[in-house]
Structure 1
């Protein structure tokens, strides 16, 4: 590895280390175990204002697995009882089932999970104050009951997969941020996730080429990926990866009035929809609760709605799910799609009840098309996962093939031979003709006999020889 390459990797890792800090550092975390947990339920204003309680008339997420790629999810939280359907640790520093809270912000994953699929709980004390809010279990369906106390998530009947990663500080497990993310995405896809929640981000819009294959794999397997846009107060003025990857549903944040949040949201052309990001509440590891803020909290709200849609229409493609969410959003800001609100403000009721034309194209793009144009169709080679889970999924890329040489053209090989043969015959002919001519010349007799012409003059003395004849052989 060259120094330049190492420096680029350290820089990218440092940028990604801001991922979870952006979501939790903006939150004024209020840790508490209140006497009446339903007081936290009363603070979930987004359930009504985003149309979620009305969307529950149609679906509550039953039968859908949602992967939470985060700092680990505490499955022992009372509001998450029976919610986790599996998990894994990708970092090498957490628990095998992904439920240990790790990283720079260990509480982050449990906050996200309770907002996404919390089921509340029954008060352990029968004399506890009854909840002022109606229970989500009042809607038709045979799914798990939702308790009147604590946090109820957007998709309370969905199952979660906890995929723990170590982000925001040096990983004692040794794996870098860049290595953990693609491995986490692949594991989630291979283990049945229909929706993936990624409440993390970076200050860089670019992503490592090693991520291409994993996000392409998710796209090919028809999985919806929902990612946080990032927060200005965390240094993310513009949307950073992985929220910039084509095809990913990127979530911006709103303040309590429904306007784009100044602190708890960034901006960018990849934003798909906006959702509440301030004055949020969620569960903490070890059973507590907290108030927090950031697009890290807005993301599970949208991911939960995606789970509601996939539960209602199991055969609906990921592109159609995303299109249903963005096309039913309430337009805000500049008319049409804009870099603050994307297509608009989330409207869960419309996403579940409106008539939306079918589409085969993801309105947020395709990583497959992007790779073909920007990478010239080439994917970076990455190390294979140590122990991939059993899956019937076909490999992302076809098996490599060795090109077969074409048989040489007979015309091309015959022409040079004919030329050489022709010149050879011509040369032989010339030599033969020359030899015949020479032989014929040697056999031709002299004109005046064998002794040549008689050069004696009349009257010469007998015996007087011609001087010229003395040079002839006798």
Structure 2
């Protein structure tokens, strides 16, 4: 997971970097800027090779709103002409969404804690290190801003949020896999249309308890969006839950639209790519931060999924995912589609909302139920129904009484069928042999020459 530690940098310098020097005034309205440790510091932006960079919206002097380059470069502001996500609920399973920020006013409609360390509504940040992580994630998905044209605004600013707090590492005494499994089911039961998971376990496999939890979400038509993980935090390849079939795994790119060397990873399960560098986030205490990581790329895609679901309420989760990946813009550095670093390409919110896309009848990111059947050796399927009536077998006859006489003594049967015939054959053979011998002697004596008498 990204953003385990923070380092504070000068707000003016960070905002100038994020905007490529376009903004100099108004920065004092942001008290401080933080960058997640383990992720790279922001660098001067370059125009995306596959996406046309646009200037900040005219008439907006607010540094936060202008710094959100992804709103224009990835078609989000265009998509707002159709919808802003009204009527869709995004569940953020993370460290909790803070109560203080005005950007979340009216956005959070429910929540719960699964760490044992938070509050019952899920709004108390959990963890000494990652406490702000959930707020950063939620603000990218559906922050409301601080005014009509001021403050950070999320991708789906009219969508609802559910705050489900969990604890990473030592932040909770409850096993992590149990927290996630319980939170997934709670989110589904409380109306989530989309679930965002901005964390990784750094392992390809996952606990069997997640089989039921994720399958429960899929069976209830929920889109599950997952961060691919970051090389900067030690993740070389995608890890669970990003490896679970059926989830939409999000890789990260820099301002040039190239896979981030630190704030992303790679693997065959990546479905789509989104910005993961120079992102804004609202902390639990209302502070605005700049941070990197696929933890931020995922909620951008979750927000776009909310726009799609709002614009096309008749679409099921499989077709929402299909629209997102089929309308992706090609990544210039990709070698194939899907690609291990980019998936199907770079997210395009306006195309995902407005383009004509053929429907599908299965999740293009795979089937968890099929995986379970193949690799868990779980369910062999229903047993065949018998095609004929059972056959009744007659009772076997009673066993004969055993002869308890000594086997060394002859019986009538052995004398009649064994001993007598054997004696007869033997005597006959002897007599024949004697007869043959006598005949032979007689023949030899007759042939012997006789001596003449004198």
Q: TM-score range by the shorter chain?
A: 0.7 to 0.9
What are structure 2's unaligned runs of at least 5 residues? 12-25, 31-61, 402-454
Deviations 1:313-355 (A, max 9, x none): 1121100000000011012211311100001010111101110
Q: Alignment partner for residue 114 of structure 2, among 53, 68, 90?
A: 90
What are structure 1's unaligned runs of at least 5 residues? 1-18, 123-146, 380-400, 425-474
The CA distance in 1 between the partners of 2:268 and 2:285, in whole Å, is: 39
Distance 1:184 1:96, change over 3 A: same
Residues 89 and 193 of structure 2 are in contact (CA less than 8 Å); yes or no, is this contact kept in structure 1? yes
Residues 75 and 84 of structure 1 are in contact (CA less than 8 Å); yes or no, is this contact kept in structure 2? no
Q: Alignment partner for residue 101 of structure 1, among 125, 135, 138?
A: 125
Aligned 1:290-369 pairs, distance under 5 A: 290-332=289-331, 333-369=334-370
Give TM-score scaled by structure 1 length: 0.70
In the alignment, which residue of structure 1 is the partner of 2:97?
Answer: 73
1:285 and 2:284 matched: yes
Aligned 1:252-267 pairs, distance under 5 A: 252-267=251-266
RMSD, matched Cα: 2.8
In the alignment, which residue of structure 1 is the partner of 2:3?
Answer: 24
Aligned 1:51-450 pairs, distance under 5 A: 51-103=75-127, 104-122=129-147, 147-167=148-168, 169-171=169-171, 173-332=172-331, 333-378=334-379, 409=390, 411-412=392-393, 414=394, 416-417=395-396, 419-420=397-398
The CA distance in 2 between the partners of 1:360 and 1:408, in whole Å, is: 40
Give TM-score scaled by structure 2 length: 0.73
In the alignment, which residue of structure 1 is the partner of 2:74?
Answer: 50
Deviations 1:252-273 (A, max 9, x none): 0001111000000000000000
Residues 269 and 338 of structure 1 are in contact (CA less than 8 Å); yes or no, is this contact kept in structure 2? yes
Deviations 1:6-36 (A, max 9, x none): xxxxxxxxxxxxx3xxx11487555979643
Alpha-carbon shift at residue 148 of structure 1 (Å): 1.7
The CA distance in 2 between the partners of 1:221 and 1:346, in whole Å, is: 25
Match of 1:300, SS? helix
The CA distance in 1 between the partners of 2:27 and 2:345, in whole Å, is: 36
Deviations 1:182-214 (A, max 9, x none): 111111001000000100112111111111000
Residues 114 and 165 of structure 2 are in contact (CA less than 8 Å); yes or no, is this contact kept in structure 1? yes
Match of 2:29, SS? coil
The CA distance in 1 between the partners of 2:249 and 2:261, in whole Å, is: 17
Residues 30 and 289 of structure 1 are in contact (CA less than 8 Å); yes or no, is this contact kept in structure 2? no
Residues 78 and 287 of structure 1 are in contact (CA less than 8 Å); yes or no, is this contact kept in structure 2? yes
Alpha-carbon shift at residue 411 of structure 1 (Å): 2.6
Residues 126 and 167 of structure 2 are in contact (CA less than 8 Å); yes or no, is this contact kept in structure 1? yes
Task: Say which structure, 1 or 2, has more relative contact order (CA 8 Å, 6+ apart).
Answer: 1
Match of 2:350, SS? helix
Deviations 1:227-282 (A, max 9, x none): 00000010001001101000000000001111000000000000000000001111
The CA distance in 2 between the partners of 1:339 and 1:238, in whole Å, is: 10
